[in-house]
Structure 1
Amino acid sequence: MKINVKAKADTDRSGKQKFSVKASRKGKKTPLYVLLIFIAVQLLPILFIAPTLNYFRGQGLDEATALASTSGWLIVFTMGVGFIVTMIVILRDKRFFDIWKGKKSSLLAAVGWGVLGFLLLLIGQSIAAMIEMAIGIEAGSENTMALVNIAEVVPMAILAVVLFGPILEELVFRRVVFGSLNQTTNFFVATAVSALVFALVHMEFSHLLLYFTTGLVLAFLYQRTKRIITPIIAHIMLNGYVMLIQLNMDKIENFLKQLENIQ
């Protein structure tokens, strides 16, 4: 009887060890999968530009509208699919977000910090923009204006820019890049590297300081609450605010002129 009990215990311990190793391997692979999906989302549209552009040209659209339509629908499709696949991968790994020591903030506090983070982003970007202007860099983002022009032709692209984009970027830059580095280095190194990578990926090197500042604030928010929902909320609100202002710029200017006339 003693031999049988010991054998069973060994079997149980062996089973737990195998499960532990399997779970550990999955945990290590999930961030890599998320990163690869994000890279695919950035690169795959290249394969579909020519046939999609030819389709819209065939619909009788002028060249500028055809180009905007092509960009808009490819952004919607690739980001939408990328978002769905990423969620599936993450949901299969229940420990994907378990990278912090200590207690996480409550959900209510995390949401509150997300809203406050939006205000911090506005302040940080304003300061960064003033510094850039002081050293001779012109205000305004070509990347933002391009997305606004696309959204005017393909309104569905707003969903990708305001929702899918921020969620994917926070999962990659804050959870995968910042989160992984924070476990092996320290907060300051992880924050600096993740913010720099975030800035470089946006391919606007003249506004490197602007994106770097944004990355710093978002990393701080993630560190503060230990919940990825916090930087996601702040990022979504920032993108939504920018799109709302830019898409209604004519109306805003007309309103300001009317106020001047009244005065």
Structure 2
Amino acid sequence: MERILTVTNSQKVNKHKKTALYVLLIYILMQISGKWLIEPFHKLVMSTTGLASAQAAPLTQGWYIALSFAIALILSLFLTSRDKTFWDIYQGKKETIPLSIMWGIIGFFLVFIGQMIGVAIEMAVFGIQGGSQNTADIVAIAKGAPIAILAIVVFGPILEEFIFRRVIFGSLVQTTNFWIAAIVSAIFFALIHRDFSHILLYTICGLIFAFLYHKTKRIWTSIIAHVMLNGFVTLVQVYAEQLQKLLDELQKMQ
């Protein structure tokens, strides 16, 4: 009986590893697919809209990001749905759904505070000024093609939590400990954003997201915090002018 259980557990572990590998490969392919597909997709956008190359560029980038992220997420959800215990990396009872949601909301504020601390460290120690080129580029795409906001606020955070919290952190935490798994996954999370001047900020975010997942044993907790963070930043950046006008009008009314 013990041998049968051991074999069964070994089969589950091997299945989890395969699922994790496939999800990781899907994410990598999505990240590099633009090298081969963005140009033909750009031509398709120009032919269907009748726009010149420069005018069609923002639409191409926005729609390509939205579609590639959506396809990658759908494929990842399909693969993980076939592995019923893929998310059960922790022993013991998971946190209740209401508390998991609450921790997700708390996590948003923790990340916000963590980023402010990170900015202060960057300026005091390294002399790095605020403002992220990666964020600026993404916001520019979102302004040119609002469909990209879906990828930025919803598809992207979910995929990144699948990869960096379940695949990388989740695999490591089962064989090492929380800190090793959290630091390694957070560093990879920072590197994928390719904004090396602010690598500390992204690493802090990755550590907090890992803590949220570890705390509740539910991936949706870190997803909630991540979605809220991206949504808040996108809202402020994309609608900065409109928000400023609204604030000016409110001041005039006082």
The question of a shared fold, defined as TM-score above 0.5 by the shorter chain, is answered with yes
Mean alpha-carbon deviation: is it higher for 153-162 or for 230-239?
153-162
Establish whether residue 207 from structure 1 lines up as the match of residue 198 from structure 2.
yes
Q: Which residue of 2 aligns with 1:66?
A: 56
CA 1:29–1:140: 2 relative to 1, 3 Å:
same
Q: Which residue of 2 aligns with 1:8?
A: none
Q: Of the candidates 70, 83, 87, which is equivalent to residue 97 of structure 1?
A: 87
CA 1:208–1:15: 2 relative to 1, 3 Å:
closer
Q: Which residue of 1 aligns with 2:176?
A: 185
Establish whether residue 50 from structure 1 lines up as the match of residue 56 from structure 2.
no
Query: Could you tell me how far 1:258 is from its partner in structure 2?
Result: 4.1
Residue pairs, 1:114-263, within 5 angstroms: 114-134=104-124, 135-258=126-249
Alpha-carbon contact 1:30-1:93 (below 8 Å) kept: yes
Query: Could you tell me how far 1:167 is from its partner in structure 2?
Result: 0.5
CA displacement 1:35-70 (0-9 Å, x = unmatched) = 111111111122211112223344443444322111
Residue pairs, 1:8-27, within 5 angstroms: 22-27=11-16
Matches of 1:256 and 1:13 in 2, distance apart? 67
CA 1:68–1:84: 2 relative to 1, 3 Å:
same
Larger-gyration structure (1/2): 1
Query: Could you tell me how far 1:21 is from its partner in structure 2?
Result: 5.1
Q: What is the identity, as a one-letter code, of the residue corresponding to 2:209?
A: L
Query: Could you tell me how far 1:28 is from its partner in structure 2?
Result: 2.1
Query: Could you tell me how far 1:130 is from its partner in structure 2?
Result: 2.0
Gaps of 5+ in 1: 1-11
Matches of 1:97 and 1:122 in 2, distance apart? 27
Mean alpha-carbon deviation: is it higher for 220-229 or for 153-162?
153-162
CA 1:86–1:208: 2 relative to 1, 3 Å:
same
Matches of 1:139 and 1:70 in 2, distance apart? 29
Alpha-carbon contact 1:65-1:153 (below 8 Å) kept: no
Matches of 2:205 and 2:8 in 1, distance apart? 40
SS at 1:150 equivalent:
helix
Gaps of 5+ in 2: none
Q: Of the candidates 84, 99, 103, which is equivalent to residue 113 of structure 1?
A: 103
Matches of 1:21 and 1:188 in 2, distance apart? 26
- In the alignment of these two chains, the number of paired residues is 252
Query: Could you tell me how far 1:148 is from its partner in structure 2?
Result: 1.4
SS at 2:174 equivalent:
helix
Query: Could you tell me how far 1:183 is from its partner in structure 2?
Result: 1.1
CA displacement 1:117-163 (0-9 Å, x = unmatched) = 01111111111122222332121111112221211222211111111
CA displacement 1:204-223 (0-9 Å, x = unmatched) = 00000110110011011011
Mean alpha-carbon deviation: is it higher for 138-147 or for 195-204?
138-147
CA displacement 1:6-58 (0-9 Å, x = unmatched) = xxxxxx99987876554442122111111111111111122211112223344
